[in-house]
């Protein structure tokens, strides 16, 4: 064998640049389930199972296509336990002198492969619409890197929802139509679920035995694990959920984990689906009159806008990005994030669902668990590790900008023009959580007051120096400053009491 071709667990695409570059007759594909990747954070068991099952099936598909694949299962006695170790082992076995791979989605692994004892060529990952060069050119010379302008360029580039050089419907963004709370009597179809086959069952048994102590439940396991299944899930979403996606995009409802969301991020992020084909399927539904423009535009914006944009930021900002902490928040992540008891109905529901499904939708991540961590002054590094561990779709290129940047403002505003913070009123408007909560969302002070209400002002007060000059936050500070001095004192004291309770490891 002349060369090794490394294919990582989130690179399961036939069109991968390393496979295009390789020669199926002379090169050896190397794939490996390794402890280092499974435990650099303690990933949710469903996430590990998804990756291992999809890897095994992708390896089999490559072999059917005429490739020779050296595949290491986690429990193989010879398994060295790391990606670089596996490359070296295969090089020794075959005499290969070099390797190629597609750029990993994490600086940690890029660094390891760059310094691997076997010369390894890293090729661009072109499964995205914007290359690093294009994003850098877009960012060059701009004062602020706002997603909206990048998104418009991606619309022009792809032609998605374009009528000549104008956006379909005469406007780029229909977000203002997409903020409806969900009525309690809706019955969303939910994502397509797949019965585990023999290969997946074997993986489930392995993951149960080796990672059963990680946070989260493994069964029932229903994710798609092949491209064919992921395509079925795409068709199902376009038919059943896309038409209502826009209207209820920001809504949260007890007992409805998925509402009208796609649950494609795990599939897209490991390579089973490509961003363009997903968007084209949504656009076709609009063109046939099967889904309204606000839904289709909103959906496409998430993918060619947000998803591409956060990736651009991750690689533009460099390896230190995930470690940033400009607000110098240092509190430890409370036990409630690991399923510990909480009186906060919204936090309890979001964490419970996360443990069960390795999934929560955007607003649950941003305005419940993220909002609370930011208001409570939690160390963003710990927050980021939590998100990386618990969600099936979490890979650092997409997780870190969303958590460190968008949700925790720890990058100082590279992504967000102001912090995403809110009092309980927002959660009450967009969900039915507050009805069954031990706290009262309408109460601003006192022991029964919703913690978001007091912590919101505490956050603004303690970060006054940084934010009071922000034109988008002037109203908030105006309201705070107009409040009666005694009331302000009581709010701060109540928030301090909540923080002290958290610090004491007691239940909030």
* Shortest separation between residue 237's beta carbon and ligand FAD, angstroms: 8
Residues in 297-356 at the binding interface with ligand SF4, rule: CB under 6 A: 344-346
Nearest C-alpha neighbor of 86 from the set 48, 54, 117: 117
Q: What DSSP letter does each residue of 189-253 carry, written as one string?
A: ---------HHHHHHHHHHHHHHTTSSS---S-----SHHHHHHHHHHHHHHTHHHHTTTTT-BB
Which CB, 41 or 460, lies closer to ligand DLZ? 41
Minimum CB–partner distance for residue 441 and ligand SF4 (Å): 4
Q: Is 395 in the site for ligand DLZ (CB under 6 A)?
A: yes
Q: Among ligand SF4, ligand DLZ, ligand FAD, none, what binds residue 450 when CB lies within 5 to 8 Å by partner kind?
A: ligand SF4
Of residues 108-127, those binding ligand DLZ (CB under 6 A): 109
Q: Does 391 bind ligand SF4 (CB under 6 A)?
A: no
3-state helix, strand, coil in the chain (%, to 5): 50, 5, 40
Q: Which does 346 bind (CB under 5 to 8 A by kind): ligand DLZ, ligand FAD, ligand SF4, none?
A: ligand SF4
Distance CA 115, CA 190 (A): 44
Among 361, 444, 458, 463, binds ligand FAD (CB under 6 A): 361
Stretch that binds ligand DLZ, among 33-41, 179-187, 229-237, 328-336 (CB under 6 A): 33-41
Residue range at the interface with ligand SF4 (CB under 6 A); choices 75-83, 190-198, 327-335, 447-455: 447-455
DSSP states of 154-167? HHHHH-TTEETTEE
User: What are the C-alpha distances in Å from 84 to residues 30, 102, 120, 441, 476?
Assistant: 11, 14, 10, 52, 51
**Cα atoms in the 13 Å half-sphere on the side-chain side of 372:** 26
| Of the candidates 376, 377, 398, 279, the residue with the CA atom closest to the CA atom of residue 387 | 398
Whose Cβ is closer to ligand FAD: residue 62's or residue 351's?
A: 351
Give which of ligand SF4, ligand FAD, ligand DLZ, none residue 437 binds (C-beta under 5 to 8 Å, depending on kind).
ligand SF4
Q: Which of 402, 422, 428, 431 binds ligand FAD (CB under 6 A)?
A: 402
C-beta of residue 355 within 8 angstroms of C-beta of residue 215: yes
310 part of the interface to ligand FAD, by CB under 6 A:
yes
Q: Tell me how crowded residue 66 is: count the other CB atoms within 10 A of its CB.
A: 8
Asked if 6 and 116 count as a contact pair (C-beta separation under 8 A), the reply is: no
Taking CB under 6 A as the rule, does residue 302 contact ligand FAD? yes
Please pick, from the candidates 6, 49, 99, 403, the single residue that binds ligand FAD as defined by CB under 6 A: 403
Contact of residue 466 among ligand SF4, ligand FAD, ligand DLZ, none (CB under 5-8 Å per partner type)? none
Binding mask 405-434 for ligand DLZ (x = CB under 6 A): ------------------------------
**In angstroms, what is the minimal distance from the CB of 447 to ligand SF4?**
13
Give the DSSP H or E segment for 51: helix 45-64
* Beta carbons of 177 and 169 less than 8 angstroms apart: no
* Partner whose footprint covers residue 428, from ligand SF4, ligand DLZ, ligand FAD, none (CB < 5 to 8 Å by kind): ligand SF4
CB closer to ligand SF4, 18 vs 346: 346
Strands (E), 58-119: 68-72, 99-102
Residue 247: phi and psi, rounded to 5, are -50, -45
Q: Of the two residues 71 and 172, which places its CB atom closer to ligand FAD in the complex?
A: 172
If binding is defined by CB under 6 A, does position 90 make contact with ligand DLZ? no
Length of the chain equals 508
Does residue 43 belong to the site contacting ligand DLZ (CB under 6 A)? yes
427 binds, among ligand FAD, ligand DLZ, ligand SF4, none (CB under 5 to 8 A by kind): ligand SF4
Q: CB under 5 to 8 A by kind: which of ligand FAD, ligand SF4, ligand DLZ, none does 344 bind?
A: ligand SF4
Q: Which of 9, 298, 312, 401 binds ligand DLZ (CB under 6 A)?
A: 9
Which residues, 6 or more positions from 50, have their beta carbon under 8 angstroms from its beta carbon? 223, 225, 266, 270, 392
For residue 480, which of 451, 458, 450 has the smallest C-alpha distance?
458
Q: What does the DSSP 8-state code read for residue 463?
A: T
Measured CA to CA, the distance from residue 244 to residue 236 in angstroms comes to 13
Residue 424's alpha-carbon distances to 340, 380, 481, in angstroms, are 21, 21, 20
Other beta carbons less than 10 A from residue 158's beta carbon: 17
CA-to-CA distance for 206 and 192, rounded, in angstroms? 24
Decide: is 393 part of the binding site for ligand FAD (CB under 6 A).
yes
269 vs 371, beta carbon nearer ligand DLZ: 269
SS (H, E, C) 248-290: CCCCEECCECCCCCCCCHHHHHHCCCCHHHHHHHHHHHHHCCC
Shortest distance (Å) from residue 233 CB to ligand FAD: 10
Binding of ligand FAD by 398 (CB under 6 A): yes
Contact residues: ligand FAD, CB under 6 A: 261-265, 268-269, 299, 302-303, 306-307, 310, 361-362, 365-366, 370, 387, 391, 393-394, 398-399, 402-403, 406-407
Contact residues: ligand DLZ, CB under 6 A: 8-10, 32-34, 37-38, 43, 48, 51, 83, 104-106, 109, 395
Contact residues: ligand SF4, CB under 6 A: 344-346, 424, 427-428, 433-434, 437, 439, 441, 450-452
């Amino acid at each position: 064998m002349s060369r090794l071709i490394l294919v990582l667990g989130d690179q399961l695409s036939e069109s991968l640049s390393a496979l295009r570059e390789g020669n199926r007759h002379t090169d050896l594909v190397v794939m490996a389930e390794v402890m280092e990747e499974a435990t650099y954070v303690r990933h949710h068991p469903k996430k590990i199972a998804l990756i291992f099952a999809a890897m095994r099936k992708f390896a089999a598909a490559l072999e059917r296509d005429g490739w020779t694949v050296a595949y290491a299962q986690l429990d193989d006695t010879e398994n060295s336990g790391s990606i670089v170790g596996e490359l070296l082992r295969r090089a020794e076995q075959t005499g290969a002198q070099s390797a190629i791979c597609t750029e990993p989605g994490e600086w940690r692994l890029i660094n390891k492969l760059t310094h691997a004892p076997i010369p390894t060529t890293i090729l661009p990952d072109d499964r995205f619409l914007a290359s690093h060069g294009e994003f850098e050119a877009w960012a060059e010379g701009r004062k602020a890197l706002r997603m909206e302008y990048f998104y418009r360029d991606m619309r022009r580039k792809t032609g998605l929802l374009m009528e000549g050089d104008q956006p379909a419907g005469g406007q780029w963004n229909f977000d203002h139509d997409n903020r409806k709370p969900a009525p309690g009597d809706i019955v969303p179809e939910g994502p397509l679920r797949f019965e585990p086959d023999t290969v997946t069952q074997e993986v489930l048994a392995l993951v149960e035995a080796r990672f059963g102590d990680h946070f989260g439940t493994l069964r029932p396991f229903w994710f798609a694990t092949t491209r064919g299944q992921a395509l079925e899930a795409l068709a199902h979403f376009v038919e059943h959920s896309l038409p209502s996606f826009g209207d209820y995009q920001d809504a949260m409802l007890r007992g409805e984990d998925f509402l009208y969301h796609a649950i494609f991020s795990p599939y897209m992020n490991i390579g089973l689906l490509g961003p363009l084909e997903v968007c084209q399927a949504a656009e076709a539904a609009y063109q046939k009159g099967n889904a309204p423009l606000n839904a289709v535009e909103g959906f496409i914006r998430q993918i060619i806008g947000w998803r591409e944009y956060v990736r651009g930021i991750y690689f533009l900002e460099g390896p230190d990005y995930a470690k940033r902490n400009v607000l110098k928040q240092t509190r430890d992540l409370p036990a409630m994030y690991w399923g510990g008891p909480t009186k906060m109905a919204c936090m309890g529901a979001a964490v419970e669902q996360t443990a069960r499904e390795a999934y929560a939708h955007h607003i649950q991540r941003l305005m419940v668990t993220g909002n609370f961590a930011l208001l409570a002054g939690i160390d963003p590094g710990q927050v980021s590790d939590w998100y990386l561990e618990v969600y099936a779709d979490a890979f650092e290129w997409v997780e870190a900008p969303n958590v460190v940047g968008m949700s925790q403002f720890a990058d100082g505003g590279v992504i967000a023009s102001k912090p995403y913070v809110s009092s309980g009123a927002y959660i009450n408007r967009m969900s039915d959580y507050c009805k069954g909560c031990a706290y009262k969302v309408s109460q601003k002070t006192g022991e029964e007051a919703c913690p978001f209400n007091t912590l919101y002002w505490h956050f603004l007060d303690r970060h006054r120096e940084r934010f009071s000059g922000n034109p988008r936050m002037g109203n908030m500070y105006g309201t705070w400053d107009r409040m009666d001095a005694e009331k302000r004192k009581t709010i701060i004291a109540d928030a301090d009491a909540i923080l002290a309770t958290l610090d004491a490891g007691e239940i909030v």
